[in-house]
Amino acid sequence: MAATTDTDHTEHTDAPGSRPPAARRRRMGRIATAVSFFGELLITGGLVLGLFVVYSLWWTNVVADRAADQQADKVRDHWTHESDGGGPVTFDSKDGIGFLHVPAMSKDEILVEKGTSMKVLNDGVAGYYTDPVKATLPTSGKKGNFSLAAHRDGHGAKFHNIDKIRKGDPIVFETKDEWYVYKVYGILPETSKYNVQVLSQVPKESGRKKAGHYITLTTCTPVYTSRYRYIVWGELERVEKVDEERTPPKELR
């Protein structure tokens, strides 16, 4: 018989103070469950965030464009009705006062309504300021600043490509009876949202010192934020009467 050694009688036990294998498995199981739960939370949060982005940047555009189109149809129906002898229609109607055309920014016409509240702008239109500085409507014939605002992202995003506008580009405002043709002369890529001086009747920050017939476009910047404001200024070059065919000015052809 072979001689025995100490090794033959040694029991394989865990080191003093160590957890038994079953306890370690339970602990690792709890950690795995917690990690899995946390991972599911992250996935769910990511899906919710993704859906919110889709809603904000796509679906609100769909809804707003639909509402703007319906309002635009009402405005043109009013104009046609009045032209056919159906009676006068108040220029400053609840449906809209006219259409903005900015070829460098968009090929689509933009309905203009009164006010710059979210209730107005969320319908995919541009609104003229009534507060804190009251806009001067071009139809009044008075010198002043026809100041407008619209969303840059979501809710129609009518001013999304405002940064495509360059000095010398045309801005045309269409009413029932006239085309008001402006020419861009000043651009301010970034300013405080509290800078109401850009809306002044004489927008001195644009370089103008005397009263004139101005137009100002304002929207949020940078894209997808509302931290600052982007400003574009134009000055009236001429007014054209609308003919029977409603032929647009050469700048829009």
Q: Which amino acid makes up residue 45? A: G
Structure tokens at 154: 């979501």
User: Of these residues, 68, 165, 199, 220, which one is catalytic?
Assistant: 220
Structure tokens at 128: 């003229």
The Cα–Cα gap between 18 and 201 comes to 81
Q: Whose structure tokens read 């509402």? A: 67
Residues 6+ positions from 128 with CB-CB distance below 8 Å: 97, 112, 113, 114, 115, 116, 135, 137, 146, 147, 148
Which is it for the CA torsion 220, 221, 222, 228, positive or negative? negative
Cβ atoms 231, 187 nearer than 8 A: yes
Q: How far apart are CA 143 and CA 175, in angstroms?
A: 18
Bridge partner list, 231: 188, 218
CA distance linking residue 149 with residue 113, whole number of Å: 10
Burial bucket for residue 80 (CB in 10 Å: 0-12, 13-18, 19+): exposed
Q: Nearest-CA neighbor of 70 among 171, 156, 152, 174?
A: 156
Q: Is 78 one of the catalytic residues?
A: no
Which residues are designated catalytic?
220
